[in-house]
Structure 1
């Protein structure tokens, strides 16, 4: 059976569990700070602890695929189990893989993460549109078919992104604004929320010159360790703030491996976001 559209499931999850996405980012320094070895065994213990602590409370989890892939097939096996564990606990999985290519290669990436038969099937996938938005069509089509979603890199918080995303086209519109317009078209008429979202950094300051009302979710990295706070969200996202999915990684994960501390940190961030966007 095809799942209910991702946008509808996301809206309900954030309303019920709180508007928060927690990264699962087992990079070497974080494993070390948890007292874990930088091995597949450490990777697995880290991931299982995050899900054990937060799986029943947090709406969305964002595993960073690269931190699992660096261990080869055994690391990918841990990622598969992590996806299954999050979904069994009732959370949604946004796979942070930032895939982007053309034709059959893009289709293969889409099948890896958006096919119901794949062990890495995720509720949504981050994708890069910088081979042209049309290159994402295989992922858009498969996501729509299977009730999944996409988060398209539009206005990212890294300084290097500006040279591409803020570049002006011949029509005077920036590349980032063009991506937002494409997503608004994908989400036209969707209720209560479209399934095709944008990645927009929470550290970017005033974005009032951009139309963020795409009727879809806005995945917002940068809360916590990167300097943005939940209180900053209304000023950055304006009228679209209720559709923001704030992503916190190090701000929560640095409290591990203590399960209670991880849970308390996530709950605190979720409460702060609720208060800011109310």
Structure 2
């Protein structure tokens, strides 16, 4: 008898409790490769990525490779990405593939299989997706995530200024587009909670269907952020937000926040010890901010 896979949300909660609530991006910008003294080619990419995995995969809850920075080197870059995913997961980190895929029908099904099917060389624990062809277009990814215990993070309230023209637009029923996306995710998590027994642990259980919500957006109390799932919060570090800002932005949902830091940690490389120290500092600050909000 095959045992059903533990849902991503349960695995994420356990990882955050054990390792701290932090996601570190693996974003090999050309400028970062140069600052590490590496060449802007596949050899430099491989050295960079493997160093980050060596430094962090056995101690950070989530690693988030940005696929574009690997894809720009073609098939050899994608091969490096495959190795990064496998090595990071083997070391105990959850891998969130930052691919922001969104399409319809069989094409969306193919994207879903790329990241959420265990038979794929890019099989990850979760993937970022774009719901802006209509939330229903994501159904193939939702179905595959449920089948294999994976997770999704749908773009909802992103920190880029251009996002407002779509995400803050108001529908005929008075709801904004972003609020509609959040409502769909809440429904997905409620369904999961009804079908899968909640994992026990020191923190409230999480659903597997999360939202991307920028940490730089200020007070978001007008939005229903309590979706029963995780909130991936980019914008910490180089983009200007700090862990101390999180309670004001996310309010009571701050305990569901997974802050994402990339350059704020990576610029301290290439030394493994420095990368580890900086990631731990961020995780400690995020945990302290969440605890303070809880009091």
Query: What's the TM-score bracket when you normalise by the shorter of the two chains?
Result: over 0.9
Shift, 1:56, TM fit: 1.1
Match of 1:113 in 2: 115
Match of 2:97 in 1: 95
Residues 74-133 of structure 1: per-residue CA shift (max 9 Å, x gap): 000000000001001100000000000000000000000000100100000000000000
Match of 1:73 in 2: 75
Q: CA–CA distance in 2 between the matches of 1:240 and 1:65?
A: 28
Structure 2 gaps of 5+ residues are 199-204
| Residue from 220, 234, 239 that aligns with 1:226 | 239
Does residue 238 of the first structure (1) align with residue 251 of the second (2)?
yes
Runs of 4 or more, structure 1, over 3 Å off, are: none
Does residue 250 of the first structure (1) align with residue 252 of the second (2)?
no
Match of 1:208 in 2: 221
Describe how 1:117-132 pairs up with structure 2 within 5 A. 117-132=119-134
Match of 2:150 in 1: 148
Q: CA–CA distance in 1 between the matches of 2:88 and 2:73?
A: 21
| Residue from 17, 20, 27 that aligns with 1:18 | 20
Please identify, of 1-10 and 72-81, the stretch whose mean Cα deviation from structure 2 is larger.
1-10
Q: CA–CA distance in 2 between the matches of 1:205 and 1:85?
A: 36
Does residue 176 of the first structure (1) align with residue 181 of the second (2)?
no
Q: CA–CA distance in 2 between the matches of 1:246 and 1:12?
A: 16
Please identify, of 90-99 and 190-199, the stretch whose mean Cα deviation from structure 2 is larger.
190-199
Describe how 1:160-175 pairs up with structure 2 within 5 A. 160-175=162-177
Secondary structure (helix, strand or coil) at the match of 1:19 reads coil
Residues 31-59 of structure 1: per-residue CA shift (max 9 Å, x gap): 00100000101000000000111111100
Q: TM-score, normalised by structure 2?
A: 0.93
Q: CA–CA distance in 2 between the matches of 1:172 and 1:30?
A: 44
| Residue from 7, 12, 31 that aligns with 1:5 | 7
**RMSD over aligned Cα atoms:** 0.7
Match of 2:202 in 1: none
Q: TM-score, normalised by structure 1?
A: 0.99
| Residue from 201, 204, 210 that aligns with 1:197 | 210
Structure 1 gaps of 5+ residues are none
Shift, 1:27, TM fit: 1.1
Does residue 158 of the first structure (1) align with residue 144 of the second (2)?
no
Q: CA–CA distance in 2 between the matches of 1:55 and 1:150?
A: 20
Does residue 35 of the first structure (1) align with residue 48 of the second (2)?
no
